[in-house]
Amino acid sequence: MKKSPALIIPFAVITTILFLLFAADCPAASPELAPEKIDEVVTKIMKEKNIPGLSLAISMPGRTIERSYGIANMEYNIPVERDTIFQIGSVTKTFTAIGILMLQQEGKLSVRDRITKYFPQYPQWHDITLKHLLQHTSGIREMTETEPFKSNQMRDWTPREVIARMADEPLDFEPGQNAVYSNIGCIILGVVIEKVTGVSYNDFLSDRILKPLGMAHTMFGSTSAIIPKRASGYVFTGKLMNAPFASLVLPHASGGMTSTASDLVKLTKVFTAKALLTERSVREMFAPARLTSGTEFVLPGPTINMTFGYSLDSVRGKKAVIPAKTGGISGFNSYFAYFPESQTMVAVTANLDNSLGSLVIITDALFGLKDR
């Protein structure tokens, strides 16, 4: 759960795949999507960028492609398989946003609720709404830049401990007047889900989202529990090394989940309003966010606009919905992109941490493909 988890290596892979995906007007029929062509592209990038293991899935109407590459655990030489489980970091925010909208559909809350409805003990947050939290416009200071969390992400801080500590901090700006990427926002939303439903965030996810979607290999993570087929995380500092330990309790509803690429593409059912969310909720989830000034806001990078737990972006002129923050956590990166025009979704997971915040690798991947 880093403030700026740069998902550069897996992003290079997925961006290259997206070039293949949209090489023809009809992605499902594109000969560029032959598995052997995908294998050629991915394995080349993995070798260049020292990625130990990677899994990807592409879901299109009538067709799904699933590919796995490399090593899940280097010490025991265990290969990545279709059901190898990766930590997905901030992609967790996707599930939190879906949960909030489900509860709004049921009349149990509104995204316009002030958070003091659920946390009356923090009157200083009276002007902050659930929508502000979803859109990173609350003004609450980013927890990963605040002690004790900045220097100690190993301890299993509970969500309520984190919230109580951050309530002592002054707001960085008035709610709705600016946008700063926030982990604490989704942690608060996770506790709101618990307060409204009377069950844990973990149980809510399992019973209301994961089981209905058939996401059997997705769960709330744990650094202490035995999770079969979980990949080990690595860093590259001249050579591959085991990644530093990081708590999965601390990020909670902001970044504590584990999953597979094959599971993540099942979110297509949600985005097409075929499961869990109505068309109205999907439209609200993907509507561009605006500040109180009326202007749309943009986070640094290729993002066009932010919305509920996602950013709005485009690839080769095709509209896409992608997570607001790609999933980076110690030793792991993950990413997905959904293309509403073709109802196509691509997901990739990798067991390599990368803090290089450069777009050069992405650009190289894009232009390199033209010569393939």
pLDDT score, position 273 = 84
Distance CA 158, CA 194 (A): 13
pLDDT score, position 33 = 62
pLDDT score, position 47 = 87
pLDDT score, position 361 = 36
Q: pTM, whole model, 2 decimals?
A: 0.87
Cβ 332 vs Cβ 353: under 8 Å: yes
Q: Which residues of the chain have pLDDT under 50?
A: 3-8, 24-29, 31, 323-325, 355-372
Q: Report domain extents, the chain.
A: 8-370
Architecture of domain 8-370: 3-Layer(aba) Sandwich (3.40)
pLDDT score, position 365 = 37
Distance CA 124, CA 288 (A): 27
Biggest distance spanned by C-alpha atoms of the chain: 60
pLDDT score, position 31 = 46
pLDDT score, position 198 = 98
Distance CA 10, CA 42 (A): 10
In the 3-class helix/strand/coil scheme, how is the chain assigned residue by residue? CCCCCCCHHHHHHHHHHHHHHCCCCCHHHCHHHCHHHHHHHHHHHHHHHCCCEEEEEEEECCEEEEEEEEEEECCCCEECCCCCEEEEECCHHHHHHHHHHHHHHCCCCCCCCEHHHCCCCCHHHCCCEHHHHHCCCCCCCCHHHCCCCCCCCCCCCCHHHHHHHHCCCCCCCCCCCCCCCCCHHHHHHHHHHHHHHCCCHHHHHHHHHHHHHCCCCCEECCCCCCCCCECCCEEECCCEEECCCCCCCCCHHHCCEEECHHHHHHHHHHHCCCCCCCHHHHHHHHCCCECCCCCECCCCCCCCEECCCEEEEEECCEEEEEECCCEEECCEEEEEEEECCCCEEEEEEECEECCCCCCHHHHHHHHHHHCC
pLDDT score, position 180 = 83
pLDDT score, position 13 = 62
pLDDT score, position 208 = 97
145's CB contacts (< 8 A; 6+ apart) are 3
